[in-house]
Amino acid sequence: MALQEKDFIEIEFTGRIKDTGEIFDSNIQADLDTAGLQKQEVKPFAFALGQGMFLKGIDEFLIGKEQGEYNIELSPEKAFGLRSSELVQLMPIKVFAQQKINPVPGAVFNFDGRMGKVLSASGGRVMIDFNHPMAGKTVIYDVKILRKIEDMNEKIGAFVNFLFRKDFNFEVKSNKIVLEVEKAMSKFAQMFEEKFKELFGLGLEIKEIAEQAEKIVEKAVSEKNLDKAKDISEEADPSE
């Protein structure tokens, strides 16, 4: 059966730069090893078609296709966009000095959620490139559709992992999803209430949970409250 928008699928993929054949992304261990790339966790990628969870060009291509293997060429407009001179900006070097950072060419930093690469540093100014590293490049993706996901819990789990980059506990109760998140994530999670309803036809209830013990320990240590840190650690590991 042909895939439709909002279908959840699981895929293996490898992305290459067309001109050079260089692998820049993959979730296949052998290809990562070939390219000298590392990922914290290597596993098939589960996502919903047409929901902005993967490259738009890949989404558009896969909708209407059957399970199988595909070689997909994407122009810059369909992949990571064209390079923009407006995204190459000058910043005063004192911004880095205040943070005791040496802005050497090639270094990449996070500027309030925007990743920028240092191109040069001279005359008290630093030139930063905020373009995506793959901007302006035609890329080729080898994609293998492993399966269409039918289980509701697996779909919800995949979406939760996509949003938070971690797995939170959840439970489907009657007509709603009860999602357990840390207090710091509560407002962010609530922003996706309509998207949960759109994808799953279920409401969303956020249940705040306590911080993980190790985070509380870290906070206690930073506050030099070592007795508190010791007490929490012993509660978390009663074997000691």
The pTM for the full model equals: 0.78
pLDDT value for 155: 97
CA distance 205 to 173: 10
Alpha helices in 36-98 (DSSP H): 56-62, 94-97
Q: Token match 């902005």: residue?
A: 52
pLDDT tens, residue by residue, 106-124: 999 988 888 999 999 998 9
Task: Inform me whether the pLDDT recorded for 126 exceeds 80.
Answer: yes
Q: Which CATH class is domain 1-80+137-149?
A: alpha beta
Residue ranges of the chain that CATH labels 3.10.50.40: 1-80+137-149
Q: Which residue from 15, 26, 104 is spatially nearest to 58, judged by alpha carbons?
A: 15
Counting residues of the chain whose pLDDT is more than 70, the rounded percentage is 88
Residue 240's pLDDT band (boundaries 50, 70, 90)? very low
Residue 215's pLDDT band (boundaries 50, 70, 90)? low
Task: Please tell us whether the domain made up of 85-129 is placed in CATH 2.40.10.330.
Answer: yes
Average pLDDT (62-74) is: 97
Strands 139-149 and 8-17, bridge-based pairing = antiparallel
pLDDT tens, residue by residue, 174-214: 899 999 999 988 999 999 999 999 999 999 999 998 765 44
Residue ranges of the chain that CATH labels 2.40.10.330: 85-129
- 11 in helix, strand or coil? strand
pLDDT value for 201: 95
Say which range, 3-17, 86-100, 108-122, 213-227, has the weakest mean pLDDT.
213-227
pLDDT value for 211: 65
Let me know: does 50 contact 5? Beta carbons within 8 Å.
Answer: yes
pLDDT tens, residue by residue, 8-32: 999 999 999 999 999 999 999 999 9
